[in-house]
Structure 1
Amino acid sequence: IVGNGPQTGIKVERKQWYALWGLVPVGFVDTKELAGDAKDYEIYTRQNAGDFFLNLLTGIVTFQSRTVTVTK
């Protein structure tokens, strides 16, 4: 939680991808960019059911994902 936490309830989500079974980040999720000019927000990072199934499908090519959510 940054500042006083979420004030408006607006959520912005992005996928963060990793190669080599999660060892090497591919791309970058900039949480400050997702928050924009908001001073109060929450960052939540997780692997949800969608990520789990994507990871099962892409595990053959060694990619993994997680979801990053910023709530303003």
Structure 2
Amino acid sequence: MMTVLFAASMLFTSCYSYTSVVGEGAQGNEKTTKWNHYVIFGLAPVGVSDSKQMADGAENYTVHTRQSFVNGLVSSLTFGLYAPSTTTVTK
């Protein structure tokens, strides 16, 4: 029973996370965060943030896209019909 609970808790940590470095990467701590909107288990994008626009003309920045706990909770409550993710751009 403990093994099943441990395995289930690992599934709730995060579905995915990836980071992209543009130019030299973030030079400061200024962050901009937006949600990306997908439907049907993330297969069809409805509204996806533009990281270049979020960087506001900066040449060096870092883009971190992930499914946070809140995103996963919302996705599970809608049975995957709405599956958001979060993008953070650090300049």
1:54 deviation in Å? 1.3
Between structure 1 and structure 2, the one with the greater Rg is 2
Match of 1:46 among 56, 66, 91: 66
Number of matched residues?
71
TM-score normalised by length of structure 1: 0.90
2:82 aligned with 1:63:
yes
Unaligned runs of 5+ in 2: 1-20
TM-score normalised by length of structure 2: 0.72
Greater relative contact order (Cα < 8 A, sep 6+): 1
The root-mean-square deviation of aligned C-alpha atoms, in Å, is: 1.2
Secondary structure, aligned partner of 1:29? coil
Secondary structure, aligned partner of 1:64? coil
Amino acid at match of 1:66: S
Secondary structure, aligned partner of 1:59? coil
- Percent of aligned pairs with the same amino acid: 37
